[in-house]
Homo-oligomer: A and B are copies of this chain.
């Protein structure tokens, strides 16, 4: 799952009916903006857990929901500037 920051709600009047009335949020994943379906009720500046892949559908409420990124949890405490371990490099 990704660790993202919530930026703001996204409004799309002309969208497929499958989205129903769920809220869409613009989230920041690293340096790129993405759109996620909000399954927990979050607000701007929250740090959240986003699930992708086919799991995003069931997380959004049903196996046929057309989401590939769903907000599934709000992180209690997150320090994005915490240093990363220096020993033991990348794989």
Contacts and interface: CB of A to CB of B under 8 A. Distances in A.
A45 B85 CA distance: 10
Contacts of A56: 53, 55, 66, 68
A28 to B, nearest CB: 7
Identical copies in the complex: 5
Interface in A8-39: 10-16, 18-19, 24, 26, 28-36, 39
Output the residue of A29, A59, A90 with the most chain B CB within 10 A: A90
Interface of A: 1-5, 7, 10-16, 18-19, 24, 26, 28-36, 39-41, 45, 47, 49, 51-59, 63-70, 72-78, 80-81, 84-85, 88-91
